[in-house]
Structure 1
Amino acid sequence: MELLTLTNLRPGKGARKKKKRVGRGIGSGHGKTSTRGQKGQHARNHVVAGFEGGQTPLHRRLPKLRGKGKGAMPIGLTRKVYGIVNLNQLNLLPAGTVVTSEELRTRGIVKGRHDGLRVLGFGDISVALTVRAQHFSATAKEKIEAAGGTAEIIVGNGAVTEASEA
């Protein structure tokens, strides 16, 4: 077997495909109609990009979303959607409960799929709860601590940080 050097490098078998040159005479096999057949839409010009055969194309079926910014499209790979809960909803839970998004979903307080939980300070809270969420408003945190509870922030990997004892 021959030693491989820069002078005898060759592409692998079938790695390089010969370009199809059309319209260069009948001897080429791609002359006259240049592989486009006889007559019709495809023989004359290209089909418009996005054309779906008469069906309303996707780009016309979707809303325009003018002035909505870059994250305006429905939930995608980068956009996060948080479940929102107010303090008056947490007031219904028994004292000493560890409140997580899963707990709230099982109790029917937060519905649907979401990437985390946001606790907002609307209403009052009178029971001591341990609330674990991705975000707390300043008033929500104050009211939870004033009621004798704990507000724990969950970071991206699921670890609990910034635990504030009342």
Structure 2
Amino acid sequence: MQLNTIKPAAGAKHAKRRVGRGMGSGLGKTAGRGHNGQHSRAGGYHKVGFEGGQMPLQRRLPKRGFKSKTLKYNGEITLADLQRLGLDEVDLLTLKAAGLVGELIKHVKVIKSGELSRKVALKGLGATAGAKAAIEAAGGSLA
């Protein structure tokens, strides 16, 4: 293959549409812009969602719901997670290092789901009443 023999694939190149060049071209007179109105004129512009002055759809519909920031920064782990972790002392940094909670999490609560049969000391973590009772029953503590 030589540089002077390279050609684009068949049908890949086509002539540019030349508008306003006479009636024989099929795009003469109004050049494909219709007759009157904003779109037929140079400089015609409207923002996305503009409906000709009618109240736009996004303003006609009611506002609903919100995204809770607490879901973004609060996490939870289970007693079964603590059992699987296999550490004697657990805090937020160890949970992040183990991949049990995300990097953005600032508060973690232990919930009662699963079994805990080993002694675990929690530092800086919250716990539900049932989880607290299960941790203390296994000989662990919350600080």
Could you state the TM-score of these two structures normalised by the residue count of structure 1?
A: 0.46
**Which position in structure 2 is the counterpart of 1:42?**
none
The CA deviation string for residues 93-139 of structure 1, in whole angstroms up to 9 with x for no partner, is 2252x111111110111124122111101111011111124421001
Q: Does the alignment pair 1:73 with 2:67?
A: yes
1:139 aligns with 2:133: no
> Which of 62, 71, 83 in structure 2 is aligned with 1:91?
83
Quick one: percent identity of the two aligned structures?
A: 24
1 or 2 for the larger relative contact order (CA 8 Å, sep ≥6)?
2
Aligned-residue RMSD, C-alpha:
3.0
| Contact map agreement 1:88 1:124 (CA 8 A) in 2 | yes
Q: Is the 8 A contact 1:95 1:129 kept in 2?
A: yes
Match of 2:94 among 97, 103, 109: 103
Give 1 or 2 for the bigger CA radius of gyration: 2
Paired residues in the alignment total 90
Q: 1:56 to 1:89 in 2, by over 3 A?
A: farther
SS in 1 for 2:123: strand
8 Å contact kept, 1:121–1:139: yes
Structure 1 unaligned regions, length at least 5: 1-52, 153-166
| SS of the residue 1:92 aligns to | helix
Q: Is the contact between residue 95 and residue 128 of structure 1 (CA under 8 Å) also seen in structure 2?
A: no
| Contact 2:78–2:112 (CA under 8 A) maintained in structure 1 | yes
Change (3 A) 1:65 1:141: farther
Tell me the equivalent position of 1:55.
48
Q: Deviations over 1:11-53 (max 9, x none)?
A: xxxxxxxxxxxxxxxxxxxxxxxxxxxxxxxxxxxxxxxxxx5
The CA distance in 2 between the partners of 1:113 and 1:122, in whole Å, is 23
Is this contact kept in 1: 2:96–2:102, CA < 8 A?
yes
Identify the structure with the greater helix proportion: 2
Q: Give the whole-Å Cα distance in 1 for the aligned partners of 2:118 and 2:124.
A: 17
Give 1 or 2: higher strand fraction.
Answer: 1
Q: 3-state SS of the aligned residue for 2:77?
A: strand
TM-score by length of 2: 0.52
CA change 1:150–1:113 in 2 (3 A) is same
8 Å CA contact retained: 1:119, 1:133: no
Structure 2 residue runs without a partner (length 5+)? 1-45, 51-57
